[in-house]
Amino acid sequence: MKKLIVTLSVLFLSSCALWDAHNMARFDNNEYYLINSITTNAILGKEHCGFLTVNKYVKKVWHKSNEFHNYSSAIPNNEETITMSGELIKITKGLNDKYDQENYISKAYCEAKFSIIIKNATTIQNVVGGKPR
């Protein structure tokens, strides 16, 4: 009877692990969260271009881009995402530096820069969401 209980327990636990593996996301949830946060903040920032509140979104996008790059750099065999995150940092750094150096930034420049960030972040989001772990 003990052997039957042990055997059934092992089978039950194994099937639970298989069920979890089957239902698990096929991508890195943290990477996806970070790039989604960048996209969301860029969309919100674009809506605030021309207002002083845009600076808050510029800083958030810059901060999250660095966080995304640092996180993806620590994952082995993640060269594609590391390259994309490095390029995104260059774009967000340009926007952040511009807001640090100048008092007035034109609404057109702000919207154009955020549009580029949104486009790139969305592309990265699609790549990250589609890659296997």
Domains of the chain and CATH, by start: 26-130 (1.20.120)
Measured on CA atoms in the order 69, 74, 79, 81, is the torsion positive or negative? negative
Does the global pTM surpass 0.85?
A: no
Per the listing, tokens 């996008």 go with 61
Task: Give the pLDDT of residue 133.
Answer: 59
pLDDT in tens, 41-88: 999 999 999 999 999 999 999 999 999 999 999 999 899 999 999 999
Q: Return the number of other C-beta atoms located less than 10 Å from residue 125's C-beta.
A: 17
**How far is residue 49's CA from residue 14's CA, in Å, rounded to a whole number?**
54
